[in-house]
Structure 1
């Protein structure tokens, strides 16, 4: 008897689906009809999907999902990497067999995704994957890379700056710390005491978050801190203000604070993601993979991601 192939057919494939908004327990892996590329679109055979906090946040309840335009039944995940396997009419920039990465809002954890060939936002885009970047790494770049780039643009660090980065070891922090260092800035990064060596590897000088943070930062930087970004909440914003950082040199990504810029990956400058991919391919920017999971373990992977203590990125293999 002929053995059944484990590879998905062009007409069917696995995808993570949810019929109700909630926690990891609502996520199921199902066999579904594969989407077909229409005019101006490409279909990608996904090999890896990177997880981000926004994935579980925007599917956690109906009100939050509505803000992102999500309705039930819904898919899951946004960052993907893979190979083009279908090209719609009018597409000239991509061909079947091209390696690509990008974003497909709340539908990336699937064997196949369809995106617009000319899409320019993390919700719907594709970019050629540079040689030298494997698919697991490529699948981590879109959301975190765009967000870090937007945060860096908001505070514009340079060689004369000392930058305080709150949540420096998280998915966005991995990029933000290294991009700030590439810009020539000194970086002080907050994290747990156990993350100190990890932060040093990224290029940050570690400092423990929590009570007394302002005094610890002053001890590390007696000449002052000139810019700050809070990648977790608002603790770093308050500390930055306390030690004299001006509001126009502070930004957040996960909270709204009056007078402080809220950086959003959707507002990253054109070409930001391609530049990050170039830096990765050139070996100037390193993306640590905290752990990878087969798609069948999606619930376990999201539980780990939702714990907000991951050092680096989590990837789903498809």
Structure 2
């Protein structure tokens, strides 16, 4: 099969496009013919070796954890899916090796759910990692509910845009930080936009004088430090970007595959409560260019990889 792979840690320049063996299908996995994948910052961070303390790399590594595609072959123990089923998945295992930037991927069923019928494969591939991250942060770490005021940092990005939509669906008021060029986009999602950077605390206090009930930090550093000052009494704080949140009494979240959560996201997408903004699409052989765009750090929504 055709795939993108790398044989050592490094940047986009180490990616190779060529033939790799088709993956074997374990008892609790299915073979998926990949229609689309998505690029996330964690892809190039893992590729650079940043996750080496927690994830071994079995070289050569095929990058990518997000997938949308069609089931080709269920494993012998699988009863949940049949050939021809359209699925999405957050195909993360406890090591780096068998990713989704390929014509085929063998995915454990614990990583999969049915693809939303109303989304294209390109759109659907943007849901799993970003959607699960936002969902698990809002539901479990922050316990967002009706009437809460939620501050989302980097609200126009992949995770941020999902978080805005999900929090609004939960009945929360959302304040989102983003560059001015993305403010109309955030308004369309239902958020009240504000510029990040110097003076952020004053701008948020002007919008929420009594503080915010929950903060979802997707940036870390100064944004996280400011966030702790903006919480209302009993306010909750979570970060996916900076473990220093633990010292501030908040939660550090590392997203995990969960088929029930993923199915909830599919259901929300089909009900029109969750959409996917795809800002750029690259063919599989141009995955390095997709990573370079992601590394610029100003992407609205998601970057997709299509597999022909």
Q: TM-score, normalised by structure 2?
A: 0.91
Query: Measured at CA, do residues 83 and 267 of structure 1 come closer, stay the same or move farther in structure 2, by a change above 3 Å?
Result: closer
Structure 1 residue 194 displacement after superposition: 1.8
List per-residue Cα deviations over 1:251-310 (Å, max 9, x = no partner). 101111212111221186x62211111111111111111111111111110001111110
Structure 1 residue 52 displacement after superposition: 0.9
Q: Secondary structure at the match of 2:256?
A: helix
- The question of whether the paired residues in 1 share the 8 Å contact of 2:91 and 2:108 is answered with no
- Total equivalences in the alignment: 298
Q: Secondary structure at the match of 2:193?
A: strand
Larger radius of gyration: 1
User: Residue 125 of structure 2 corresponds to which residue in structure 1?
Assistant: 139
Q: TM-score, normalised by structure 1?
A: 0.88
Which of 27, 30, 38 pairs up with 1:42?
30
Gaps of 5+ in 1: 1-12, 120-124
Which of 181, 184, 199 pairs up with 1:197?
184
List per-residue Cα deviations over 1:53-100 (Å, max 9, x = no partner). 111111112x63352222321110110011111222232221111111
User: Residue 146 of structure 2 corresponds to which residue in structure 1?
Assistant: 159
Q: Secondary structure at the match of 1:172?
A: helix
Structure 1: how far apart are the matches of 2:210 and 2:235?
19
1:166-185 paired onto structure 2 within 5 Å: 166-185=153-172
Gaps of 5+ in 2: none
User: Residue 56 of structure 1 corresponds to which residue in structure 2?
Assistant: 44
- The question of whether the paired residues in 2 share the 8 Å contact of 1:248 and 1:261 is answered with no
- The question of whether the paired residues in 2 share the 8 Å contact of 1:162 and 1:188 is answered with yes
User: Residue 85 of structure 1 corresponds to which residue in structure 2?
Assistant: 72
Query: Measured at CA, do residues 300 and 170 of structure 1 come closer, stay the same or move farther in structure 2, by a change above 3 Å?
Result: same
1:273-312 paired onto structure 2 within 5 Å: 273-312=262-301
Matched, 1:266 2:253: no
Structure 1: how far apart are the matches of 2:74 and 2:265?
26
Query: Measured at CA, do residues 108 and 147 of structure 1 come closer, stay the same or move farther in structure 2, by a change above 3 Å?
Result: same
Query: Measured at CA, do residues 267 and 97 of structure 1 come closer, stay the same or move farther in structure 2, by a change above 3 Å?
Result: closer
Q: Secondary structure at the match of 1:299?
A: helix
Query: Measured at CA, do residues 248 and 223 of structure 1 come closer, stay the same or move farther in structure 2, by a change above 3 Å?
Result: closer
- The question of whether the paired residues in 1 share the 8 Å contact of 2:220 and 2:241 is answered with yes
Range with greater deviation from structure 2 (171-180 or 151-160): 151-160
Query: Measured at CA, do residues 294 and 267 of structure 1 come closer, stay the same or move farther in structure 2, by a change above 3 Å?
Result: closer
- The question of whether the paired residues in 2 share the 8 Å contact of 1:65 and 1:71 is answered with no
Q: Secondary structure at the match of 1:195?
A: helix
Structure 1 residue 248 displacement after superposition: 5.5
Structure 2: how far apart are the matches of 1:192 and 1:84?
40
- The question of whether the paired residues in 1 share the 8 Å contact of 2:29 and 2:78 is answered with yes
From the two aligned structures, give the one with the greater strand fraction.
2
List per-residue Cα deviations over 1:4-35 (Å, max 9, x = no partner). xxxxxxxxx11110011111111111112212
Which of 6, 19, 28 pairs up with 1:31?
19
Structure 1: how far apart are the matches of 2:264 and 2:51?
31
1:234-249 paired onto structure 2 within 5 Å: 234-245=221-232, 249=236
Query: Measured at CA, do residues 244 and 80 of structure 1 come closer, stay the same or move farther in structure 2, by a change above 3 Å?
Result: closer
Q: Secondary structure at the match of 2:174?
A: strand
Query: Measured at CA, do residues 199 and 87 of structure 1 come closer, stay the same or move farther in structure 2, by a change above 3 Å?
Result: same
Range with greater deviation from structure 2 (281-290 or 37-46): 37-46
